[in-house]
Amino acid sequence: MTCNLPLNVSDYVTEAVNTDSNSIAEMFHNAAWGVLSLWFELVIKIDLDIHKKNRYASYDFRRKIEMQHEEFQKMTEREQVSLLKLPE
């Protein structure tokens, strides 16, 4: 038996966008936020470890983390999922 669950933020957002059910869209949107939160916690710990070993080495890594975090935040905005948009 194979389970084809999405494994990353963009997959969960895609599932949220492509469904026709509000509750399923909400579930996948929340899952995307969960993956984003977990990713952020992990990379911050990695960044701190790198900084402890060489405080100059982590600058480029930290910049990449910030850029990726901004991209993920844009992806996971509720407005990206038509079923979750607030009525105007």
From first to last of its 88 residues, what are the pLDDT tens digits of the chain? 445 655 789 999 999 999 999 999 999 999 999 999 999 999 999 988 888 888 777 788 888 999 999 999 999 998 989 988 877 6
pTM of the predicted model as reported, rounded to 2 decimal places: 0.79
The DSSP string of 25-75 is HHHHHHHHHHHHHHHHHHHHHHHHHHHHH-TTTHHHHHHHHHHHHHHHHHH
